[in-house]
Structure 1
């Protein structure tokens, strides 16, 4: 039926729009690659995002007639950050001029892509469900780039902290490494930005997608009830008095929130590994994901302000304290100052540690990219 075709088409277009958007965001990073290993991974991400776009455009052309062809053509008119025709989702219009943001993006935002694709893999529209299988395999590489990249930034910082016997932010910055509080700020920004990609906590569209087989839940087989016709769940919403309250909604309406909660659990796996490295180094610092109510632009918390722990605060307090929670212009300027291109095999920038092993059993100093 036409309404279902339209819903499928909108979902494919929205997902397809993210693929070239991320390449557009990252298009200049090759100029500041910290070593050839990173440059090779960046190019591989480009190729895979392009392949994902091609697969989704094929679906539009093959199954949705003239409307699908026109929507596919529209993908070429939008550009990341464009003032007149930006990409559909806000996260994909954020500027990305440094590798710390790239690592955060591939860890957090590509992980959102993983969960969206896992939802599509449960779709009753078989061409879409089958197409997402290879895409999920390649998303795993993107998340590997992000997790190991952040881990190596932290490792290098810990090495310098030990050498200098200090945790002073100014001293560490002068030594050319990224201090842990700044890593936390960038994590706060990209994680919360990615949370919005799941949509509102209570959504009639999500209910319709689920009930009509357009989308499922990630790993649907692990849920006991695959219909959720009469079941309910509880979410927390603002109480209108500066606090929060529980609200009961149907499980179908809460599909976005169910997926978001699974996403948060998955994100915490890498954070736990990074914290283990910090603890082993004897440093008294712990990274943590902010509460999913923090800095939201979509959903029931979009009009409210909270601290990173999710406690409601006033707009004035948020403005007064946000520089302690999110990257400031000074932080961004510092990070940008570290971004110097290194292309000699075996050499690398001083703000990141080498990988534990090379790609495809090659040596770490292998010439991964010939310039």
Structure 2
């Protein structure tokens, strides 16, 4: 299914065959471009070595070239349709998937699409000024690649709103550009997308932890009985993989450089030597991981149960599960605090779907910790990085009313306040990290707080001129 780049809006959904929809999206397009100019990357560039989707098949789907940012061709791309696809879960399991929105599920599907769509421009807004302190041209290019693809993911959700939800959908599409990250009057819907991304360590943590949450949310929507949503999310996951790669390897490189400085100066206190101490890296992990866990919602959720039963939103890799995919007779265990102690409880599986998804996410996050600890081991450093307990620093769900340490101990408010600076980034920590953020725009050069990558982009060397400036 090649993508038609001769159109004003590149697409593989035959926009030209639906003039009303085409006109509606073309009327939204100038608003999007204005949003990009005012809320997108702040660093002026001549062109950037970017990946552009040219097909949606498994092979050869992307093209790389230098592109002027304002001329990037955002568009609407859906994965190939499987004409025999059936609903894989819920009450209507086994029936054909829907090509249109059933009236009884209209409001719920629209809400799911709006929430997903709201996260896409939010991260671009959060990262708007990061390019001003990029540690290398390689990293600057990766930031811009993430940004343009988040913009395209916004287009993906806007297409669904325009194509299937009538006037309400068009109004919601407009609102996606009217909310802004951190705005006091009109913030983004989810809390994590109103947090600052003020430095590159935060960016790598965001793309590792928070974009990984996005992977799992898209994975559940990919299972949806609403086939256009499923196909949209399937293709978005292709692009999302690069965002997590940026986070994974970014933290790899920060940890590697910190280990190198520790060996070189024979001290854990590498801040005076222009590095980021491991205890500060651990605090950033604690913060970004716990904030990202909140995005999964409460451990028990009737909304999640209803979405599953209706066929709107499945589980991660639903069709690989070895159960009846209906879950009306199944149970699950969740962690909680009862009578002042951490314990577990058995609840209906349908009510614990958020917890199920979060468990899959936590297991995936552990893979990064293994990588980063392997870097420390290879660097001759004894310290190890860890994920904090699932109840640590939570604002959503069953742990939100309690104080739990990274090791999983339940403590009182006084003990929490006395130790929070050991567990979460302090103003001094943030100030130090920001003090290291100095732009390095010379090809082949890199800032002193991070190691260079082991490979460049698309077989290009690290020294390649990934970004040209005016």
Q: What TM-score does the superposition give when structure 2 sets the normalisation length?
A: 0.77
In 1, Cα distance between the equivalents of 2:277 and 2:225? 47
In 1, Cα distance between the equivalents of 2:359 and 2:407? 16
1:267-282 → structure 2 map (5 Å cutoff): 267-282=365-380
1:218 aligns with 2:316: yes
In 2, Cα distance between the equivalents of 1:44 and 1:125? 29
Structure with max Cα Rg: 2
Aligned position for 2:160: 59
- Answer yes or no: is the 8 Å Cα contact 2:436–2:449 preserved in 1: yes
Out of 159, 184, 187, the position equivalent to 1:83 is 184
Aligned position for 2:381: 283
In 1, Cα distance between the equivalents of 2:344 and 2:133? 47
Aligned position for 2:109: 8
1:112 aligns with 2:213: yes
Aligned position for 1:162: 263
Higher relative contact order (CA 8 A, sep 6+): 1
Aligned to 1:248, the other structure's residue is in SS state strand
In 2, Cα distance between the equivalents of 1:279 and 1:363? 27
In 1, Cα distance between the equivalents of 2:196 and 2:445? 28
Aligned position for 2:272: 174
Aligned position for 2:42: none
1:183-194 → structure 2 map (5 Å cutoff): 183-194=281-292
**1:117-176 C-alpha deviation (Å, 9 max, x unpaired):** 000010000000000111101110000000000000011111111111222x2xx11110
Q: What TM-score does the superposition give when structure 1 sets the normalisation length?
A: 0.97
Aligned position for 2:47: none
In 2, Cα distance between the equivalents of 1:361 and 1:244? 50
Aligned position for 1:229: 328
Let me know the Cα RMSD of the aligned residues: 0.9
Give the CA deviation at 1:246.
2.3
Aligned to 1:254, the other structure's residue is in SS state helix
Give the CA deviation at 1:3.
4.2
1:19 aligns with 2:120: yes
Give the CA deviation at 1:282.
2.0
Out of 191, 195, 200, the position equivalent to 1:99 is 200
In 2, Cα distance between the equivalents of 1:317 and 1:85? 35
1:37 aligns with 2:138: yes
**1:160-197 C-alpha deviation (Å, 9 max, x unpaired):** 11111222x2xx11110111110000000000000010
**1:179-226 C-alpha deviation (Å, 9 max, x unpaired):** 111000000000000001011000000000111100000101221121
In 1, Cα distance between the equivalents of 2:216 and 2:158? 20
Aligned to 1:193, the other structure's residue is in SS state helix
In 2, Cα distance between the equivalents of 1:319 and 1:137? 42
Aligned to 1:360, the other structure's residue is in SS state coil
- Answer yes or no: is the 8 Å Cα contact 2:256–2:379 preserved in 1: no
Aligned to 2:414, the other structure's residue is in SS state helix
In 1, Cα distance between the equivalents of 2:104 and 2:399? 30
Out of 236, 246, 252, the position equivalent to 1:145 is 246
- Answer yes or no: is the 8 Å Cα contact 1:294–1:308 preserved in 2: yes
In 2, Cα distance between the equivalents of 1:82 and 1:130? 32
In 1, Cα distance between the equivalents of 2:291 and 2:344? 24
Q: Which runs of no fewer than 5 residues in structure 2 stay unpaired?
A: 1-101
Q: Which runs of no fewer than 5 residues in structure 1 stay unpaired?
A: none
Aligned to 1:88, the other structure's residue is in SS state coil
Counting helix residues as a fraction of each chain, which structure ranks higher? Answer: 1
